[in-house]
Structure 1
Amino acid sequence: MAQEFVRAPLGVQERITADGSSPWPVEAGRYRLVVARACPWANRTVIVRRLLGLEPVLSMGIAGPLHDERSWRFHNDPGDRDPVLGIEWLRDAYEKAIPGYDKGVTVPAVVEVASGKVVTNAYKELEFDLATQWTAHHREGAPDLFPEAHRDEIEALSEQVFHDVNNGVYKCGFAGSQAAYDRAHEALFARLDALSERLADRRYLVGDTITEADVRLWVTLVRFDAAYHGHFKANRQKLTEMPVLWAYARDLFQTPGFGDTIDFAQIKQHYYGVHRTINPTGIVPRGPLTSGWLTPHGREALGGRPFGDGTPPGPPLESECVPPLT
């Protein structure tokens, strides 16, 4: 077993652009975004799609939280098949794109509906392109998630968050030695401490509005107590024991486009039910309680304009609503 967790490379790193720089043009109705509620990398694209109002032009398929070596499966859909793509296993779309495909079958993945082929699973580039290449289809009042004046700062900060936090919890959970775990655990909480200090007197990570940097950090924070603290042994503290980050996470949870994308039951079903090397019994914990996500956070006092000069997104599509908190 490898001593340190290394994330596998992506297999289909194409781009969907409006400027002619790729073979895949931006086109309403041509593609379907396949995600899973459990996955933080997919959650990033779900949030961006919601904030930008791309639901009418980019449909979304939702794989269930459970899978095996055959890949993500649409086991929550009628007949265990995605209603648009007609497939049971997401692997089918990868193999249509690349016969004999032998890399990771990951979400998010964008599939061309007509051909059934995966176009890209490059989540970072996809988020950027949704924000910068799909502008003709953005809703009125859509926020600027990558403001030009702050792009370098967003990318620099996001790189730190990726290595130490987003991927850091996985480095803790899948460490193959005590030393590897200790290094990952130390780096994770050192970064969380630094982020807590940064956010103590500012509402958002970069500038005074929500940017992609917030999206990238938040998807890990929202899963922290439900999965990473116990399942991945990222347990120096719970999120609820880190006052600044807990308030920041609640602030975003209560912001349209964030909390309305989260299904805690599916998050726990996935992590505890799929990672049998870590949790051999597959038993899914009942807790933690989630009602605290709706309690006052007080961060309005720090100012900031969540959507800049824009407006909040409308309610999610009925078919994309998540269960209420309990």
Structure 2
Amino acid sequence: MKLGNEIAGDGRFVRQPNRFTARIEDGGEHPPEPGRYQIYASYACPWAQRSLIVRELLGLQEVIGVTVVDPIRDERGWRMPGGDPVTGAEYLSELYLTSDPDYQGRYTVPAVWDRTAGRLATNDYPQITLTLETAFRPWHAEGAPDLYPAGLRREIDELNDTIFHGLNNGVYKAGFATSQEAYDEAVTRVFATLDMLEERLAGRAFLHGEALTESDVRLYTTLARFDSVYYSHFKCSIRRLVDHPALWAYARRLYAIPGFRDTTDFDQIKRHYFITQTNINPTGIVPKGPELDWTAP
């Protein structure tokens, strides 16, 4: 994995900005239409899994297509086994360079291709799930959950921001830190955030009460990787997820929902991180375990 300019002089990891940030919205350059868009995603990537979860929860499988990339990357980026059925491309990088020939950053998932425009519309992962929840509302399946209810949006946005900085991106700041100070700062914040969430989830089913929301999707993808990857690989080893009773019960509660369980592939997750990120695991050895029962009541 090439981090390029994402490591600051003081050893802190600074995530690259998203290159394609157009909105899929009525009246815009990329209007919401069934069959027009293809999501490029990886079961290994937490940012991409969010899109897969929401697409399934909302019943959008026949409305928006998905191409799943191979979990192992090389210098050419994410590979599409057998070639992409939509564009014929073998690597996601081809779609990035078709959309912007001067692009020099990492080729990230998720990314959304506009078949009509013949280019990427967005790789803005925080916005992609919100777009599925709002712009594609006319095509939601009957009985689909309202993951971004109007009356809760401010609270959801605020908690999402806390979870992103403290945990979703916080584990990467710990794992990719190249100075002790940067690591100490990041890992302390990770566990302060986990402690806050442990307290919040005591006595409630989901982060905002009894209904599933966008915040739960965003938290889950980090929790699903915590003990298998972040605890050891990213040195987030103060405590495990299973050492947090409320969080561990909550994570299993979400895993029991098909949209979460069906998009969680622990084998691909482990192989991606331990084989691809040779900057912190140069041998590429994938560890055995941990043995976790995600189906336990």
Range of TM-score over shorter length: over 0.9
Question: For the Cα contact (< 8 Å) 2:30–2:114, is it kept in 1?
Answer: no
CA separation in 2, counterparts of 1:238 and 1:257? 24
CA separation in 2, counterparts of 1:295 and 1:196? 19
CA separation in 1, counterparts of 2:236 and 2:191? 8
Question: For the Cα contact (< 8 Å) 2:174–2:236, is it kept in 1?
Answer: yes
Match for residue 200 of structure 1?
202
CA deviation vs aligned residue, 1:213-249 (integer Å, no higher than 9, x gap): 1001110000101110010000111111211110000
Q: CA deviation at 1:114?
A: 5.0
**2:13 matched to 1:12?**
no
Give the TM-score, by structure 1 length.
Answer: 0.86
Question: For the Cα contact (< 8 Å) 1:250–1:295, is it kept in 2?
Answer: yes
CA deviation vs aligned residue, 1:58-104 (integer Å, no higher than 9, x gap): 01000011112321111xx33xx123321111011111111222223
Match for residue 72 of structure 1?
78
Amino acid at match of 1:295: A
1:24 maps to which of 30, 48, 56: 30
CA separation in 2, counterparts of 1:249 and 1:288? 16
Q: Which runs of 5+ in 1 are unaligned?
A: 297-326
* Residues 128-147 of structure 1 aligned to structure 2 (within 5 Å): 128-147=130-149
* Residues 1-326 of structure 1 aligned to structure 2 (within 5 Å): 2=8, 3-17=11-25, 19-20=26-27, 22-74=28-80, 77-78=81-82, 81-113=83-115, 116-290=118-292, 292-296=293-297
Q: 1:257 is paired with a residue of what secondary structure?
A: helix
Amino acid at match of 2:46: P
CA separation in 2, counterparts of 1:37 and 1:224? 15
Amino acid at match of 2:23: R
CA deviation vs aligned residue, 1:132-187 (integer Å, no higher than 9, x gap): 11011111111100111111110001100000100010011001111110111111
CA deviation vs aligned residue, 1:172-210 (integer Å, no higher than 9, x gap): 100111111011111100110010001011111113200
Amino acid at match of 1:221: L
Question: For the Cα contact (< 8 Å) 2:111–2:122, is it kept in 1?
Answer: yes
CA separation in 2, counterparts of 1:88 and 1:269? 20
Question: For the Cα contact (< 8 Å) 1:93–1:116, is it kept in 2?
Answer: no
Question: For the Cα contact (< 8 Å) 1:4–1:174, is it kept in 2?
Answer: yes
Structure 1 156/62 Cα, relative in aligned 2: closer, same or farther at 3 Å?
same
Q: CA deviation at 1:256?
A: 2.0
Q: 1:24 is paired with a residue of what secondary structure?
A: coil
What RMSD in Å do the two structures reach over aligned CA positions? 1.2
CA separation in 2, counterparts of 1:30 and 1:193? 42
CA deviation vs aligned residue, 1:282-314 (integer Å, no higher than 9, x gap): 011121224x10000xxxxxxxxxxxxxxxxxx
Give the TM-score, by structure 2 length.
Answer: 0.95
Match for residue 3 of structure 2?
none
Structure 1 69/182 Cα, relative in aligned 2: closer, same or farther at 3 Å?
same
CA separation in 2, counterparts of 1:191 and 1:255? 24
Amino acid at match of 2:30: W
Q: Which runs of 5+ in 2 are unaligned?
A: 1-6
